[in-house]
Amino acid sequence: MNPLYGRERIIGYSLMALAVAMIVGPFLWIFMNSLKYQVAIYTGAWVFTPTFSNYMDVLFSRRSDFAHNVRNSLIVAGVSTTLVLVIGTLAAYSLHRFRWAAWISTGFLGWTLVFHTIPVMTLLGPWYVVFRQLGLYDTLTALIITHVTMNLPMTIWLMMSFLKDIPLELEEAAFVDGCRPLTAFWWITLRLAVPGLIAAGILAFIFSWKEFSIALNLTSRATATVPVAVARFAQQHEVQHAQMAAAAMIATVPAIILMFLGQRFVVRGLTLGAVK
Amino acid sequence: MPRRLLDFVHDSFKYWSLLPAVVLLLLITVYPSLHLLQMSVSTIEFVGGRDVWSFTPGRNLELLLSDAVLQPAIVNTIVFVVLTVVIELTLGLALALLVARLPRGKSAARTAMILPILVPAVAIGCMWKLMYNYDFGLFNQALGGLGLEPVNWLGSTNLALMSVIIVDVWHWTPFVFLILFAAAEGLPVDVIEASQVDGATSWQITWRIVIPMLRNALAVAFVFRSIFAFKVFDEIYLLTSGGPGTSTEVVNLHLYKVFFEQNQLGYGALLSVAFIATILAYLAVSRRMTQGAAR
């Protein structure tokens, strides 16, 4: 767009700096509080001696299960991301590459849109009943299955959009050279779709890591994930503010890491469909 | 592998590649949705860890009609959706148009704006719970510094909904910004340059050319944000749990309480069916309207 000049540019930069400060500021403030003793939080001190005792307490004290919650979250997010990438990429490839009857492809994609739209809370009632019947209630397996399903629509749409950019001629050339459908997919298309896999993988991992309402209702103490544990810190009768701040910061870490590592991919994934 | 099996694997690739996704969606989404219909006309109780069903279609409807919390929850949800969507779209659009016109700093702004989207909502809830704290929160510290009385941000019936809306605006304006900024970056430069040559002012360019060209992206942001605002749960659960009284009670939170605090699985299912029907009707109408506007 047409750039700003002179005084307008200075005002523009000031407003942008203000917006960035308003977004980043609260993170810095809670980080500062996570380094304070409870007393320093109560007095609202700006000058204090930083301490890591809150992080130590949250992660390693005997009264806290938080390290266990981190382990649960990493298992659920890791396994569900792997599964959704396999299932979602295969489905996206099938819909993109092969000729399906219109009622199947439209019906399938339409249902993913409907499922993505309806509140997950409405399905939690039936999930609760069925998982209890199957003996899967309060297991990481139930959480993995539901997280895979939750991330499936996004993964399929994202992979289809990336697959569209890969020229079909490459596979056709491979067929001439004697490739078969599966080998062409494995050795050619999948390799070229790696940026899409990274984008979908990062987003699926983050969405699973931060998912709250399913984890809240299908787990108990032993299987709770990080967001559920963080919420417990905030819901106690006597809120331990310092530990709550530390737990919230730990819950934020994967987002910060992936934001710096995969920014390009994340932006494309999040803004998908809006630009075209 | 025997040759025949290998042939089969290759020839049926079309079918087995789609199969896992279909099975998963049938088992985890389609079947529970049908289950939900059956639940909505039943009363379900757990006796000794086993679920016992009885057919009581009238009872759930009676519970729906006599639910005193439902009406405030619906009103709050509508207020929440309208205010957050209007404010977020306005701020996000203004910021996107501003940053797109600055020669430097775009990627820094974008990096900062991704952060709230990727952070767990409960962590954001904790953050704001600390900032809103009556005794030592950031806002009351600032008010105290100015010599003003502290404000009970989350504990007063008049303010609580507004405080929750502020958190949502903070959380999701960056998302609207990202969508509109990506679209603004993709606008054709020559159209804008041509209008400058023709003597259009900056204001005219923004209102007559840029914003009309962004209407597709605006429509997407609008539909996305309004549907997600209907489903708000995490932050409100953490900040106020619907209180004080029913002043921040919203439909999704109420549904959670019916299902998992009052253990009314049958009534919860009826409420879910109504909720799903409303959201799908909204999706259909808003898509039609935004598609009409986009043409």
Cβ-Cβ contacts under 8 Å for B78 (sequence gap 6 or more)? none
- B52 shares its domain with B97: no
What's A125's domain CATH number?
Answer: 1.10.3720.10
- B50 shares its domain with B85: no
Tell me which of B61, B83, B102 is where a domain ends: B61
- Residue-wise pLDDT for A66-101, tens only, equals 899 999 999 999 999 999 999 999 999 999 989 899
Asked whether residue B295 carries a pLDDT value surpassing 60, the answer given is no
Give the C-alpha separation, A136 to B25, whole Å: 18
Residues 39-98, chain B, touching A (beta carbon < 8 A): 39, 44, 46, 49, 51, 95, 97-98
User: What's the number of domains chain B is made of?
Assistant: 2
Q: A15 in a domain, yes or no?
A: no
- B89 shares its domain with B230: yes
pLDDT at A201: 93
- B36 shares its domain with B69: no
pLDDT band, residue B293 (cuts 50/70/90):
low
| B142 and A CB contact within 8 Å | no
- Mean pLDDT of successive 10-residue stretches along chain A, which has 276 residues: 82 91 92 86 79 86 86 96 96 92 92 92 92 90 95 93 88 85 87 90 93 93 91 80 90 86 77 56
Helix/strand number for chain A, H first, E second: 15, 0
Q: A32 in a domain, yes or no?
A: no
| B259 and A CB contact within 8 Å | yes
What's B178's domain CATH number?
Answer: 1.10.3720.10
- B186 shares its domain with B248: yes
pLDDT at A220: 87
What is the model's pTM?
A: 0.91
Give me the long-range contacts of A254-260 (CB less than 8 A, separation at least 24).
Answer: A254/A205, A254/A206, A254/A209, A255/A206, A255/A209, A255/A210, A255/B115, A255/B118, A255/B119, A255/B120, A256/B115, A258/A202, A258/A205, A258/A206, A258/B118, A259/B111, A259/B114, A259/B115, A259/B118, A260/B111
User: What's the number of domains chain A is made of?
Assistant: 1
Q: How far is A65 from chain B (nearest CA, A)?
A: 17
| B222 and A CB contact within 8 Å | no
User: Exposed, middle or buried, A165 (CB in 10 Å: 0-12/13-18/19+)?
Assistant: exposed
Give the C-alpha separation, A12 to A14, whole Å: 5
Give the C-alpha separation, A209 to A212, whole Å: 9
- Residue-wise pLDDT for B168-187, tens only, equals 999 999 999 999 998 888 88
- Residue-wise pLDDT for A228-262, tens only, equals 999 988 877 777 888 889 999 999 998 888 877 87
- B24 shares its domain with B80: no
Tell me which of B15, B31, B61 is where a domain ends: B61
Q: What is the ipTM of this complex?
A: 0.89
Which H/E stretch holds residue B160? Answer: helix B160-185
- B288 shares its domain with B148: yes
- B146 shares its domain with B178: yes
Q: A169 in a domain, yes or no?
A: yes
Tell me which of B35, B61, B87 is where a domain ends: B61
Asked whether residue B1 carries a pLDDT value surpassing 80, the answer given is no
Domain that holds residue A206: 54-270
